[in-house]
Amino acid sequence: MDEVGLLEGLLKIYSPTHGEADAVQYLVAQMKALGYEATIDETGNAIGVIGEGPAEIVLLGHIDTVPGFIEVTREGDVLRGRGAVDAKGPLACFTAAEALAGQITGRRVTVIGAVGEEGDSRGAKYILDKYHPAMLIIGEPSGWEKVTLGYKGSAWFEFTAKRALAHTAAQSESACAAAVSFWNRLTTRVTALNADRPKMFDQLLPTLREMKSNSDGFVESAWLKFGLRLPPGLSVEAVAGEVATVAAPDEVVLLEGVPAYRAGKNTPLVRSFLSAIRAEGGEPGFTVKSGTSDMNLVAPVWNCPALAYGPGDSSLDHTPEEHILISEYQRAVRVLAQVLADSRLIQNRPQEVGDDANTL
């Protein structure tokens, strides 16, 4: 099996969100060649299944990328291309690892190349009620020696201020000034909330993404689009209420939101990964991420042992320099193959989530 060729071929097919169809067809064809029963579901996800049995392990990656094609090149140990890290590298790792691991009696593995993760997560939302796995692995870059146990939540808002037009000499507050004032009040409030939270994963983090203003000759309007990264224990509803209070009397609308999620450490799945990483010569570790992933959506619903794993340096996500080290990718394939071949994972179909809270 040419696991590097599998990834390189996937990278060559540009697949930004809402443009994944060609990449999905390619992946399904590759899955079939590797022995999967593979198909495309109704929302466009690539689905590949190997094995039979009552216990199912779902490997959920995403096949879409952010916009911006990067020419695919291979120079020594470096493979460049959009999605090499986020997250075609982990998805190809999933596909290659299960084919390498082979079948184990009593369990099946389902590899999913989901669409839309960089947008509205339509692929993950579609499968929420269609799978009930014993274990879940999310395909996101963690580096081959680490597993990711948690992702922050997010909430996105639109703020609108409207003011009657007045001569600048009147010193009346303009809509633009009102928008700036709101943003300053919000960031001041966030700073106060974060005062006793030294770790970034535990902080509320604001980000201003878009702004514009206009006028019809009588009323001027100013508009902001902004997001907040949510720490564990802070619900979308609570944040929305706080934002509305800061915005008053102007209008703010919650566009979408998902809470943070953190999985437990004390599960058979985590233990199997730690053992496999050590067997490959690595020093295993844990990480949590300040972004969000499809884990935030599916893990609370499926309520099974979960983590995220995949090769690649996540600091390269969405950047023009996105690339992956071939040696790291191959190591991750071997680690994951060892995990999937671990027959202890399916004993008693464990549903334990460890001594950490699995939902936040």
Does the pLDDT at position 167 exceed 70? Answer: no
pTM, 2 dp: 0.89
More confident of the two residues 13 and 346: 13
- Architecture of the domain whose range is 3-152+261-346: 3-Layer(aba) Sandwich (3.40)
Does the pLDDT at position 264 exceed 90? Answer: yes
Closest CA to 288 of 110, 138, 98: 138
Cα 195 to the chain's mean position, in Å? 27
Contact 232, 266 (CB under 8 A): no
Q: Is the dihedral of CA 226, 62, 25, 301 positive or negative?
A: negative
- Domain residue spans of the chain: 3-152+261-346, 153-258
Q: How confident is the model at residue 99 (pLDDT cuts 50, 70, 90)?
A: confident
Contact 137, 60 (CB under 8 A): yes
Question: Which residue's entry shows tokens 């700036």?
Answer: 180
Domain 3-152+261-346 and domain 153-258 have a common topology: no
* 308: preceding bond cis by omega (within 30 degrees): no
Q: Give the active site residues.
A: 64, 117
Distance CA 216, CA 196 (A): 45
Closest CA to 27 of 9, 49, 54: 9
Cβ neighbors of 134 (< 8 A, separation 6 or more) are: 55, 56, 57, 107, 304, 305, 345, 346, 349, 350, 351
Which pLDDT does position 351 carry in this prediction? 43
Which pLDDT does position 354 carry in this prediction? 38
Does the pLDDT at position 307 exceed 50? Answer: yes
Does the pLDDT at position 241 exceed 90? Answer: yes
Does the pLDDT at position 97 exceed 60? Answer: yes
Q: How confident is the model at residue 352 (pLDDT cuts 50, 70, 90)?
A: very low
Q: Once rounded to an integer, what is the mean pLDDT over residues 321-325? A: 98
Which pLDDT does position 170 carry in this prediction? 54
Phi (first) and psi of residue 125, to 5 degrees: -65, -35
In the chain, % of residues over pLDDT 70: 94
Phi (first) and psi of residue 190, to 5 degrees: -65, -45
Cβ neighbors of 163 (< 8 A, separation 6 or more) are: 172, 173, 174, 175, 178, 219, 220
153-258 folds as Alpha-Beta Plaits (3.30.70)
